[in-house]
């Protein structure tokens, strides 16, 4: 079968197959030292053409769709099953792995020993119900996070059917011809067939952080991974240059796939938020054990029913531990991530959700983030003067200087201009140059035919120029474009109508004034230059002849001013950090309404940082910034106490993205390397999306805080009720099983509902939260304590009424007090509004989930007294209208008190958060 000869994957699957191609290869070293553990299929040791032959693929056309389909069916998807999706059984088992469950199981066992079978069964039943709730929510959260990960899939550029196209990296098959560029993450193991100035960062595989130079020459078959310079490996990234390779292994058959340890490493740990929650739960457990021990001690002295007291102690312990907390938190995070994804912000790290809300400064790119990145060439400036080319580019073709400048722009260009947007690809700026060239009658194909490409010096944001070398008869033509000051510095001559003349300082000054002039109109200015050289490897950026300026327009995005204004109200500073020219940057800064348009050039960054924080705070724009300066800026802001969100797209931006609290990569024009370093990806590259994500981040944190406060105050009220009753030697107003029922069943739903909240409308009108602030601070604890006192007071009120007014027997009394506390806890959800929000129209009342949860819980509370078996287990009796009236009145009372108190306290400005 011919197809089995096509890749390493097949050979693994069928070890008896020997690749015929291999037999044709002559490995000289094999006769010297026969390798022992050498791979039978060693593409790194074969020549490029041998690998192509073995893979049965043409480098020019690539695979054909039918081949691709066959191979895909045979080898499966190009993915490493990092870990199988979480199974329901696994999650279910997880529900039972908690100290609280052990405690309750112990209580149930005790009940069986004391022959209290109903009691024991009831505990087991409540545990089962709670486990089911946990199972469903945790599964849902896990599935939605898995689905989110699938959203962030990478693409690979392949040659198939004679065309270059983008395909999902998962769909690569052995034999595919893949094109790679600086910044790309490698999606499969590739044998290089072309390489230009190519280097890769293979630290993920080899641990070696220095980039490895790559070329197409075969290496020894037993070469170590780090020495296989003819290969590119899955999971590594291109740091420089470009190349073409043929896929030799995919998925788990790649070198990366074999090192499963790495994959395990890549799994994210738990986020700081989850850790904070875990710490909070831990503290509560200890506090509870102490309180429960004291109460049980007192109870044993004052009460006769030993079993009841011990059970009450356990119930107390259970009462105080907010069981549902971690589950609800995970669900809140997962839901928030989905909402962000729908608004084009893809979260790559769970911790980002939390940090986002605390962001105090956004360092943003200009091109494509604040602007549309829809470039058009508007003006040219050559020796004879400025030319506006808004509509009549055709006229240009007559002028020799213009032709020279535009030819340079078309030759020194990486983009591909097709006839529709779909078959055009590349940097929008370069596409704009190609379009202008085409309008002036300069066709790239024709130019390339006359002057074939001999070498290329890729654009580098450190020197801000790029160059291409073309054959020109027996000599070479070097075409250069780049940032004007960089190009001017590299020029010694200038093209004029009188021919090329030496460039003097007066001319240089004149040109740089023209750059400023164009910049004040918000135009992005490039310079073109060139020279003729005897050798293709001549230094490209020396002794050039200056040709002229090209000014491109890139309109500001219409929705940016609003987003910047939102940031101002939200106490978030927006700072532009761009590689572009100062004058252009300021002009765009004005157009989008940046609060400060004080420009600092990149080379002054170090002095500014040393100068102190006031200078840093005053700067609104950093222009001509290189990646190292970006990193320094991020650090400086962080040292000044800021939480920094920073955007980036290039390979060199990765360190700054990693350093930032929230690294933001660009989904459309960003490189894979930037994405990998980032915590968040903007699918639409747009600045307003960052602001939307920050808003979501704040909402999520607010929600988590809200339901934590809710659960804690409910639990504390139960502790107070039971504790006080024991201390005062009263009969228990609420029995252990009833506490379980409240905590494990009816409290959970309102908490879920709060976690689903959409947030106050004005969440962006508040200053950012201090990232070091705990989830429950001292002020919140005081509020929680007061609220739970109100809840328990209502319950004791009901106890008094049931005894003094209705003179109920004990079972009826407990029914009234239990239901009073239970309903009071339900209404308590309305106390969870933000203190400054309106009492009736607020986040909680607008949340449909809250109403659904209330309806469900009211049912879960109102039905049991009337259903014999449930009534029996929960120790409830059917209620008379008089009993109901006590329950309703006494359960509503705490909410009314809390709401009034909140109103008054807000008036005098004491309370601020829920």
Cβ atoms of 597 and 619 closer than 8 Å: no
**Identity of the residue, 483 or 634, whose beta carbon is nearer to ligand ADP in the bound complex:** 483
DSSP 3-state assignment of 359? coil
Shortest distance in whole angstroms from residue 692 CB to ligand ADP = 22
Catalytic residue among 365, 642, 653, 747: 365
Spatial CA neighbour of 813 closest among 797, 826, 789: 797
**In this structure, are residues 781 and 751 in contact, taking their beta carbons and an 8 Å threshold?**
no
Minimum CB separation of residue 675 from ligand ADP in Å reads 17
User: Residue 555, CB half-sphere, CA atoms under 13 Å: how many?
Assistant: 5
Q: How far is the CB of 530 from ligand ADP (least distance, A)?
A: 13
Using DSSP's 3-state secondary structure scheme, residue 26 falls into coil
Distance between CA 745 and CA 727 in Å, rounded? 27
Least distance to ligand ADP, CB of residue 427, Å: 5
Q: Alpha-carbon Rg of the chain, whole angstroms?
A: 35
Residue bearing tokens 């980002």: 352
Three-class DSSP labels, 28-55:
HHHHHCCCCCCCCCCHHHCCHHHHHHHH
Instruction: Considering the complex, state which of residue 482 and residue 702 has its C-beta at the smaller distance from ligand ADP.
Output: 482
Could you tell me the CA-to-CA distances from 239 to 179, 297, 413, 629, 672 in Å, in that order? Answer: 14, 68, 19, 19, 11
Q: Give least dist CB 375 to ligand ADP, A.
A: 11
Q: Residue 484 CB, nearest distance to ligand ADP (Å)? A: 7
Q: How far is the CB of 460 from ligand ADP (least distance, A)?
A: 9
Compare residues 277 and 434 and give the one whose CB is closer to ligand ADP: 434
Q: List own/partner pairs for 160-164 with CB under 8 A and 24 or more apart.
A: 160/61, 160/62, 160/63, 160/64, 160/65, 160/68, 161/61, 161/62, 161/63, 161/64, 161/65, 162/60, 162/61, 162/62
Nearest alpha carbon to residue 165 among 153, 174, 175, 177: 177
**Cβ-contact 551, 381 below 8 angstroms:** yes
In the complex with ligand ADP, which residue's Cβ is closer, 42 or 483? Answer: 483
Q: How far is the CB of 462 from ligand ADP (least distance, A)?
A: 9
Instruction: Name the token pair of 808.
Output: 């109920």
Smallest gap from Cβ 461 to ligand ADP, in A, equals 4
In the complex, what is the shortest distance from the CB of residue 337 to ligand ADP, in angstroms, rounded to a whole number? 29
Strands 680-682 and 499-502: unpaired
Residue among 66, 84, 82 at smallest CA distance from 74: 66
Closest by Cα among 496, 551, 562 to 526: 551
Q: Are 717 and 793 in contact (CB under 8 A)?
A: no
Which of residues 111 and 480 has its CB atom nearest to ligand ADP in the complex? 480
Nearer to ligand ADP, 625 or 704 (CB): 625
Look at the alpha carbons of 594, 600, 601, 602 in this order and tell me if their dihedral is positive or negative: negative
Contact criterion met (CB below 8 Å) for 366 and 523: no
Residues 669/661, Cβ–Cβ less than 8 Å: no
- CB nearer to ligand ADP: pick between 116 and 601: 601
Contact 767, 571 (CB under 8 A): yes
808 by DSSP, 3-state: which? coil
Q: ∠ at Cα 123 (117, 128), nearest 5°?
A: 125
Query: Is residue 365 among the annotated active site residues?
Result: yes
Nearer to ligand ADP, 463 or 912 (CB): 463
Residue 90 backbone dihedrals phi, psi, to 5 degrees: -60, -45
| 202, 226 contact by CB (below 8 A) | yes
Q: Least distance (Å) from ligand ADP to the CB of residue 685?
A: 12
708: Cβ–Cβ under 8 A, 6 or more apart, which residues? 277, 280, 322, 325, 775, 776
Question: What DSSP string runs through 485-554?
Answer: HHHHHHEEEEEETTEEEE--HHHHHHHHHHHHHHHHTT-EEEEEEEEEESSTTS-TTSSEEEEEEEEEE-
Token couple for 93: 């088992």
Tell me whether residue 190 or residue 588 sits nearer to ligand ADP (CB atom).
Answer: 588
Task: Report the interface residues with ligand ADP, using CB under 6 A.
Answer: 365-367, 427, 430, 459, 461, 464-466, 481-483, 526, 578-580
Closer residue to ligand ADP in complex, CB, 433/793:
433
Q: How far is the CB of 368 from ligand ADP (least distance, A)?
A: 8
Q: Which residue, 169 or 634, is less far from ligand ADP as judged by CB?
A: 634
In the complex, minimum distance from the CB of residue 448 to ligand ADP, in angstroms, rounded to a whole number = 18
State the angle between helix axes of 687-727 and 272-302 in degrees (0 to 180), rounded to the nearest 10: 10
Q: Are 370 and 584 contacting, i.e. CB atoms less than 8 angstroms apart?
A: no
Residue of minimal Cβ distance to ligand ADP: 579
Closer by beta carbon to ligand ADP, 131 or else 466:
466
- A 10 A CB-CB count for 514 gives 18
Which is nearer to ligand ADP, 216 or 465 (by Cβ)?
A: 465
Q: Which amino acids are annotated catalytic?
A: 365
């Amino acid at each position: 079968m011919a197809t089995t000869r096509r890749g390493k994957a097949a050979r693994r699957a069928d070890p008896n197959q020997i690749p015929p191609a291999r037999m044709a290869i002559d490995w000289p070293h094999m006769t010297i030292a026969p390798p022992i553990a050498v791979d039978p299929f060693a593409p790194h040791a074969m020549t490029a053409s041998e690998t192509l032959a073995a893979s049965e693929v043409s480098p020019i056309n690539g695979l054909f769709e039918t081949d691709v389909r066959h191979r895909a069916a045979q080898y499966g998807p190009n993915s490493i099953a990092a870990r199988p999706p979480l199974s329901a059984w696994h999650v279910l088992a997880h529900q039972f792995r908690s100290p609280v469950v052990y405690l309750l199981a112990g209580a149930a066992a005790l009940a069986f020993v004391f022959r209290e079978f109903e009691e024991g069964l009831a505990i087991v039943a409540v545990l089962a119900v709670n486990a089911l709730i946990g199972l469903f929510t945790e599964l849902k959260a896990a599935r939605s996070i898995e689905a989110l990960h699938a959203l962030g899939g990478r693409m690979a550029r392949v040659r198939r059917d004679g065309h270059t196209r983008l395909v999902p990296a998962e769909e690569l098959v052995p034999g595919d011809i893949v094109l790679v560029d600086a910044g790309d993450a490698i999606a499969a193991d590739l044998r290089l067939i072309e390489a230009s100035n190519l280097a890769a960062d293979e630290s993920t595989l080899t641990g070696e952080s220095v980039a490895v130079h790559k070329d197409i020459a075969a290496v020894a078959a037993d070469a170590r991974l780090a020495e296989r310079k003819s290969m590119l490996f899955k999971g590594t990234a291109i740091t420089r240059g470009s190349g073409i390779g043929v896929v030799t292994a995919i998925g788990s058959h790649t070198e990366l796939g074999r090192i499963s340890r790495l994959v395990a490493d890549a799994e994210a740990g738990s986020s700081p938020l989850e850790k904070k929650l875990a710490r909070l739960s831990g503290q509560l457990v200890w506090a509870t054990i102490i309180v429960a021990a004291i109460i049980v001690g007192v109870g044993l002295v004052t009460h006769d029913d030993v079993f009841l007291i011990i059970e009450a102690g356990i119930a107390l312990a259970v009462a105080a531990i907010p069981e549902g907390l971690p589950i609800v938190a995970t669900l809140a995070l997962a839901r928030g991530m989905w909402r962000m994804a729908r608004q084009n912000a893809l979260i790559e790290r769970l911790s980002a959700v939390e940090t986002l809300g605390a962001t105090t400064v956004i360092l943003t790119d200009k091109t494509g983030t604040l602007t549309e990145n829809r470039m058009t060439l508007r003006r040219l400036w050559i020796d004879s003067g400025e030319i506006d080319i808004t509509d009549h580019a055709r006229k240009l073709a007559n002028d020799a200087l213009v032709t020279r400048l535009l030819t340079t722009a078309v030759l020194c260009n990486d983009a591909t201009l097709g006839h529709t947007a779909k078959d055009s690809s590349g940097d929008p700026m370069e596409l704009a140059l190609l379009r202008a060239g085409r309008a002036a009658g300069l066709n790239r194909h024709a130019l390339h035919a006359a002057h074939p490409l001999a070498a290329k010096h890729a654009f580098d944001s450190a020197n801000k120029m790029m160059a291409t070398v073309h054959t020109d008869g027996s000599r070479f033509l070097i075409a250069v474009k780049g940032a004007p000051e960089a190009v001017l510095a590299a020029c010694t001559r200038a093209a004029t109508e009188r021919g090329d003349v030496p460039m003097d300082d007066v001319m240089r000054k004149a040109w740089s004034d023209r750059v400023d002039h164009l910049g004040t109109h918000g135009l992005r200015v490039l310079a073109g230059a060139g020279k003729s050289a005897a050798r293709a490897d001549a230094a490209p950026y020396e002794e050039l002849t200056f040709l002229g300026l090209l000014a491109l327009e890139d309109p500001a995005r219409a929705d940016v001013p609003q987003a910047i204004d939102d940031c101002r109200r939200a106490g978030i500073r927006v700072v532009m950090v761009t590689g572009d020219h100062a004058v252009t940057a300021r002009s765009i800064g004005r157009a989008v309404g940046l609060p400060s348009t004080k420009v600092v050039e990149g080379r002054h960054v170090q002095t500014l940082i040393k100068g102190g924080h006031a200078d840093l705070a005053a700067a609104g724009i950093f222009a001509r910034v290189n990646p190292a300066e970006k990193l320094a800026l991020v650090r400086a802001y962080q040292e000044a106490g800021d939480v920094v969100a920073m955007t980036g797209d290039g390979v060199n931006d990765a360190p700054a993205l990693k350093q930032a609290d929230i690294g933001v990569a660009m989904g459309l024009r960003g490189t894979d390397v930037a994405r990998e370093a980032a915590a968040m990806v903007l699918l639409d590259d747009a600045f307003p999306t960052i602001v939307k994500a920050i808003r979501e981040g704040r909402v999520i944190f607010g929600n988590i805080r809200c339901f934590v406060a809710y659960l804690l105050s409910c639990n504390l009220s139960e502790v107070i009720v039971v504790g006080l009753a024991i201390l005062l030697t009263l009969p228990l107003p609420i029995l252990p099983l009833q506490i379980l029922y409240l905590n494990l069943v009816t409290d959970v739903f309102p908490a879920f509902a709060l976690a689903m909240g959409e947030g106050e409308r004005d969440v962006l009108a508040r200053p950012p939260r201090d990232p070091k602030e705990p989830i429950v601070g001292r002020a919140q604890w005081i509020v929680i304590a007061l609220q739970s006192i109100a809840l328990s007071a209502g319950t004791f009120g009901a106890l008094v009424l049931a005894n003094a007014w209705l003179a109920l027997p004990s079972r009826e009394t407990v029914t009234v007090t239990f239901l009073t506390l239970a309903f009071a806890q339900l209404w308590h959800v309305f106390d969870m509004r933000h203190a400054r929000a309106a009492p009736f129209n607020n986040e909680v009342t607008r949340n449909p989930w809250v109403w659904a949860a209330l309806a469900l819980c009211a049912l879960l509370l109102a039905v049991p007294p009337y259903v014999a078996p449930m009534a029996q287990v929960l120790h409830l009796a059917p209620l008379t209208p008089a009993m109901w009236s006590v329950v309703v009145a006494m359960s509503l009372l705490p909410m009314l008190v809390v709401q009034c108190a909140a109103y008054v306290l807000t008036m005098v400005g004491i309370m601020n958060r829920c």
